[in-house]
Amino acid sequence: MDIHTVLVLSADLADPDLKLLALLPPETNIAVGNSVEAFERLAADATVILSWSLAGQLLRDVFAMCPKARWVHSRSAGLDGVLFGELAESPVPLTNGRGVFSQPLGEFALGAILYFAKDFRRMNRNQQAGRWEPFDIVEIAGQTVGILGYGDIGRAVAARVRPIGMRVLAVKRRGPSPDQADPLVDQIFPPAGRLEMLAQSDYIVAAAPLTPETRGMLGEAEFAAMKPSAVVINLGRGPVIDEAALVRALSEKRIKGAALDVFDTEPLPDGHPFYTLENVLLSPHCADHTPDWTERAMRFFLAQFDRFAAGQPLENVVEKRQGY
């Protein structure tokens, strides 16, 4: 077996999940750091780069130091900050954490749907006020969920809402595939058909990766196409939604509400309207943070390394030129 050198970019050098790196083959050389200097000694022989909790300029600088790099892995599913020109143009494969966190995100979407359908905010407010005030709620069976970006997260959402009687629509970049019917989805639209899908949807789940094509894909025209009773749920990347347009639609009650786990700027700045809008459910980018979420991510990397070392195909290989 070849001897590999692995460079691990980690903001926290005491991260307990880094101890799992001891499960790599004993002959593996490992350097963990949060600066270029930490990798200078081993970079010339590095074959693997793990972007654990740091990316951006450091990843770019480290990649440039590694002429023998044969594989780059990102813990996260999102690639903004990870995919840069030199990596995109190189033959070095890039893999990511796609699918590792999808199940909790599917559960969050279902929870958000129930939150608005049953008006849990009102229940909580009345309980705190000691007020007995019966009101009508919405039955979600028979309602429609529209999913923008039907990848692993989108499928995790569909797998949860379909069994309880909800209709599922989806937008996929490549549009519908007649020879690959999906039992979870009633209809698949190409990107150009998203306004048609939005007009039919009671809940809109944004689960698309951030690319030049998806940036701002939910804007004024899309909010205008939605039902006044529509709820937007963003599980993908903040800039997929035009945030200013969403604030206007929520403030003017042109849509019913929004459940948001991702934002243009994180942490969300003090005084942002999302903090005070009554029709917003705000999650601080932790909808997939189960107690073992980072351990899951590390164990996925370790399984990937076994495939890499054995010369087997890697999972989650990114189409770098397309950005996902």
The whole-number pLDDT of residue 274 equals: 98
Q: Is 237 a catalytic residue?
A: yes
Q: What CATH superfamily is the domain 102-282?
A: NAD(P)-binding Rossmann-like Domain (3.40.50.720)
269-293 pLDDT, tens per residue? 999 999 999 999 999 999 999 999 9
Between CA 179 and CA 138 the distance in angstroms is: 36
Query: In the sheet that 280-282 helps form, which strands lie side by side, from edge to edge?
Result: 187-189, 167-171, 144-148, 203-206, 231-234, 257-260, 280-282
Tokens describing residue 26: 């004993």
Which candidate in 73, 167, 194, 237 is catalytic? 237
The whole-number pLDDT of residue 322 equals: 84
Residues 6+ apart with CB under 8 A from 123: none
CA 228 and chain centroid, separation: 26
Between CA 176 and CA 183 the distance in angstroms is: 13
Q: Report pTM.
A: 0.92
Strand pairing category for 48-51 and 257-260: unpaired
Is the pLDDT at 179 greater than 60? The verdict is no
Average pLDDT over residues 71-96: 94
CA-based nearest residue to 55, from 100, 5, 7, 9? 9
Q: What CATH superfamily is the domain 5-100+291-309?
A: NAD(P)-binding Rossmann-like Domain (3.40.50.720)
Give the pLDDT band of residue 175 (cuts 50, 70, 90).
low
Q: How do the domains of the chain map onto residue ranges? A: 5-100+291-309, 102-282
Which candidate in 89, 266, 278, 295 is catalytic? 266
Give yes or no on whether 5-100+291-309 and 102-282 have one common fold: yes
Between CA 211 and CA 247 the distance in angstroms is: 22
Which 3 state secondary structure label does DSSP give 167? strand
Which candidate in 173, 215, 254, 285 is catalytic? 285
16-25 pLDDT, tens per residue? 999 999 999 9
226-274 pLDDT, tens per residue? 999 999 999 999 999 999 999 999 999 999 999 999 999 999 999 999 9
Is the pLDDT at 81 greater than 90? The verdict is no
